[in-house]
Amino acid sequence: MPNTIKTMIDSADAVMLLIDHQSGLFQLVKDIDMLRLRHNVSALAKVSRLAKLPTFTTASVPDGPNGPLIPEIHRYNPEAIHIPRTGQINTWDNPNWVEAIQKTGRKTLLIAATLTSVCLSFPTLSASRLATGSSRSSTLRGTGPPWEPRSRWHVSYRRAPCLSIRTQSSPS
């Protein structure tokens, strides 16, 4: 698309990755209240459906203390594909996860995960290492650290808009 603004996300080239949005892990997020976190993740699921983005979810040990994925994700985006993990902490260590994303052929990875320090950073770094010509955009409103914010910058970036999607209209 020659007229695409470089700062916008092209929905024809993006995929949404929702990682470890689990009820037990939500208890660990300290810089955003749990209800707002649930609403933000629900909004990401809705936006990805409206923008027709391929959406993948995964959960770390859903039968254990991390708990199951919050049901809102698949309620608001029933087309989202859940890819179970077999014990990997880093989603990128799961070959089925990587293969599903690569099969989309899309180069822009929109990544949201519950804990910034693990669930978000590990797959983002791994995707950067493995990708050729891909761009990553980690969304910050569906994630948080397991510590209290220590600076104004930390609090202010949490309030900033996190996702802009440019949809491409199909020719009539």
- Confidence band, pLDDT 50/70/90 cuts, at residue 86: confident
Cβ contacts of 139 within 8 Å, gap of 6 or more: 44, 110, 111, 112, 162, 163
- pLDDT one-digit tens code per residue, 95-140: 999 999 999 999 888 888 888 777 887 888 888 765 545 555 545 4
- Confidence band, pLDDT 50/70/90 cuts, at residue 5: low
pTM of the model: 0.76
Average pLDDT of span 77-88: 93
Written as six digits, the tokens of 161 are: 């808009």
CATH architecture of 18-164: 3-Layer(aba) Sandwich (3.40)
> b/e map of 53-88 (b: 16 or more CB within 10 Å)?
bbbbbbbbebeeebbebbebbbebbeebeebebeee
The residues annotated with a catalytic role in the active site are: 119
Q: How far apart are the first and last CA of the chain?
A: 17
**Of 158 and 3, the one with more pLDDT:** 3
Residue 84 has a pLDDT of: 94
Q: Which run of H or E residues covers position 72? A: helix 72-76
Residue 4 has a pLDDT of: 56
